Structure 1
Amino acid sequence: MPRRIVVPPALLGVAARQQSLVSRRQCREHGMTDQQVDALVSAGRWRRVLPAVLDPRVPADGRFDALDRSRRRGAIVGALALPGSVVTGVPALVLHGAQGAPRRVLPEVTFPNGAPRRNGKPVRVRRERLQRWTFVDGVPCVTAELALAQAVPGLDRSHAIALMDSARRRRLVTEDGFRRARELARGRRGAARTAAWWGLSDPRADSPVESQARVDLVDAGYPPDAVQLEIFDEQGRFLARPDLVWFLPGGRVVPVELDGHEAHSTPEALFHDRRRQNALVARGARMLRYTGRDVTRGVVVPDVRRLLDAEGWAPRPWTGDGPLILPRRAPT
């Protein structure tokens, strides 16, 4: 390959923002010819993703882990493959920053005028006229509100609720916007099947793992009495904010924490977790902790069921406005 082919630094900057993806149109806009692009691909310096989408192999975006980068690539590629289009549905939610999408994100777009387009590429093209859209890192996307309405009817329940929870938690949509999204979903294919799921969403959920565990427990008849409840000791010192909490007779509690590996793997984090757990146990708490793998394997529901049944639990939804004060219990 001739050495004179030099990739403009500005184009590499565009690729870095787009998870190492550029379109042929962007290459031309930065002064490169199709022949130069094809030569780079032939030499193995670049990789062809789709006929009009290339991978210049720029360094990975440090803001995201490998799975999130893969999801974002799937979300971006549709807009690059079909210039003038706007990203829709799950891909738009991914670009807006919602968590809980399927591992593989398939590209989908629409054209603002809603006109049909022939598409021989592996990109879904919706026919939906748009009144407005936005740009996320330079990529045109429908609003998070509309993206939810488009995405939920086509998803399984676990991913749909996780994305709804995350969009609300991260304030990608307001509560009014969430209600509008629910209305916008009506009449779409799959809307009847998924209509009840909107009522299961909870903006307090801190992660997709928590969303899945909560809904599994609700299905089993053990809805948590509180979610993300702050717990303090009798002197006003912060003890914990468990993901899920149940109240037992006699003033005791069952806090459940759903851990991410990164957040709890350092020696400092493990020491802090152990000290916090000991403080809760000294106050009569029956602490349970699980990983995301435990949730996926179905370990959580049987464990919680056994404990709550043995302790005579009955639903007592938390109605307090502030934190829970948990005093130390006298030894028995």
Structure 2
Amino acid sequence: MTQPTPDHHGIIYRRAALDEGYTDKQLTRRVDDATMTRIWSGAYVLNTGETRTPEELHRLTAIAAVTSSPDSGFALSHQSAGVLHGLSLLTPQLDRVHLSTGYATGARLEKRRHLHSGALDDADTVVVDGIRVTSLERTVVDIACSVGFAQALAAFDSALRNGADAAVIAEYLEGHKRGVGQARRALGHADAGAENAGESWGRAQLICAGLPTPRLQHEFYDDAGVFIARTDYDWLGKLAAEFDGMAKYQRHLADGETAFDAMRREKEREDALRRLGVMVIRWVWEDLRRNRVVPMVREWLDRLGIAA
């Protein structure tokens, strides 16, 4: 059975499908048999058999929402713009499409859209994949002023990693009121070395507990100058920590390598670090959710005599 043709974003619009000769009944049948998913009124995506991440699905939904809207002056903003910018966000709010209207008033929460008020100058928006969105710096400030410290830190870390201008971010924060204090605090701790939102969350927990801030992505070499490892976090070259280590290694298996091979490779790596006198600890998402990270780090900082 042939399928309607998606556009360059991967979206099938009802009007285009009808132009191809399909009927509404045929489109409905494809939704009913799970060949397609309706992501917005008059917009669909093909189900290819591969599961889309929430971010991937939200990206398509946000694009469909803004291109289908009669309010063509609106720009994708907040978490929706963050997804298009490729930010690694911690617990992003993706249940609604976020749009900035450019008007001083008129913010409202709808079933599937969150309309944000506030002026938008030309410098506040850019075009990403043909879609008008708030700029990277404006986007991350909008997010950081509306979420908690850990989410704000993750957003800033990711934005800096993606090339955001810290000075421009700071300028935006001079003009914001609500949530600006927490956002400024998060920006002060932001570090492009954090590779994902999970790593940022771990650091946020350590910061909030008053523990020493770790160095990020430090490379260790042996006495002969041979590279040993690059760690997610370390303190004074005495204590190193890895977030979600085994999951990372299993995602990057070499050709012909098994999960057991990756586990053995990681053990050899840790053994080499310990021979250098570096203690290695690790945590996963569940440890972050259950607040196990701070006690673990504090215990080893105390054992190794690293001042808290």
Alignment of 1:1-332 (within 5 A): 8-9=4-5, 12-14=6-8, 17-18=9-10, 21-24=11-14, 27-28=15-16, 31=19, 36-37=23-24, 39-41=26-28, 44=32, 46-50=36-40, 52-59=41-48, 66-83=53-70, 84=72, 85-105=74-94, 106-111=96-101, 122-127=112-117, 128-132=119-123, 133-171=125-163, 173-184=164-175, 186-187=176-177, 189-247=178-236, 253-259=238-244, 262-265=247-250, 266-314=259-307
- CA distance in 2: counterparts of 1:224 and 1:117, whole angstroms: 38
Task: Note if contact 1:41-1:47 (Cα within 8 Å) is conserved in structure 2.
Answer: no
The Cα shift of 1:293 comes to: 2.2
- For residue 141 of structure 1, report the CA deviation from its aligned partner: 1.1
- What TM-score do you get using the length of structure 2 for normalisation? 0.81
User: What secondary structure is seen at the aligned counterpart in 2 of 1:287?
Assistant: strand
Shift of 1:104: 4.0
Distance in 2 (CA, whole Å) between partners of 1:305 and 1:126 is 41
CA distance in 2, matches of 1:131, 1:110: 13
CA distance in 2, matches of 1:183, 1:304: 35
Q: How large is the RMSD of aligned CA atoms in angstroms? A: 3.1
CA distance in 1, matches of 2:223, 2:182: 47
Structure 1: runs of 5 or more not aligned:
316-332
User: Which stretch shows the higher mean deviation, 193-202 or 207-216?
Assistant: 193-202
CA 1:88 to 1:23, structure 2 compared with 1: closer, same or farther past 3 Å? farther
Q: What TM-score do you get using the length of structure 1 for normalisation?
A: 0.75
The amino acid across from 1:253 in the alignment is K
CA distance in 1, matches of 2:136, 2:235: 33
Matched to 1:110, the amino acid is: S
Query: For residue 258 of structure 1, what is the amino acid of its counterpart?
Result: F
1:250-300 deviation per Cα after TM superposition (whole angstroms, max 9, x unaligned): xx6111111255422333432321111111111221111222222222221
Asked if the contact 2:138–2:169 (Cα under 8 Å) also holds between the matched residues in 1, the reply is: no
Q: Specify whether residues 36 and 29 from structure 1 end up closer, same or farther in structure 2 by C-alpha distance, changes over 3 A only.
A: closer
* 8 Å CA contact 1:226, 1:246 repeated in 2: yes
Identity, % of aligned pairs? 23
Q: CA deviation at 1:311?
A: 2.6
Deviation of 1:151 (Å): 1.5
Match of 2:145, SS state, is helix
Q: Which amino acid aligns with 1:269?
A: A
Q: Is the 8 A contact 2:173 2:180 kept in 1?
A: no
Greater percentage in strand = 2
Rounded Cα–Cα distance in structure 2 between residues aligned with 1:139 and 1:204: 29
Q: Distance in 2 between matches of 1:276 and 1:139?
A: 44
Aligned pair in 2 of structure 1 residues 56, 217: CA closer, same or farther (>3 Å)?
closer
- Contact kept? 1:87, 1:142, Cα under 8 Å: yes
Shift of 1:238: 0.8
Residue 308 of structure 1, CA deviation: 1.4
Secondary structure of the structure 2 residue equivalent to 1:312: coil
**Alpha-carbon shift at residue 73 of structure 1 (Å):** 3.9
Deviations 1:196-249 (A, max 9, x none): 2221222211111111111211222222342211111111111111111113xx
Change (3 A) 1:104 1:312: same
Contiguous gaps of at least 5 residues in structure 2: 251-258
SS at match of 1:168: helix
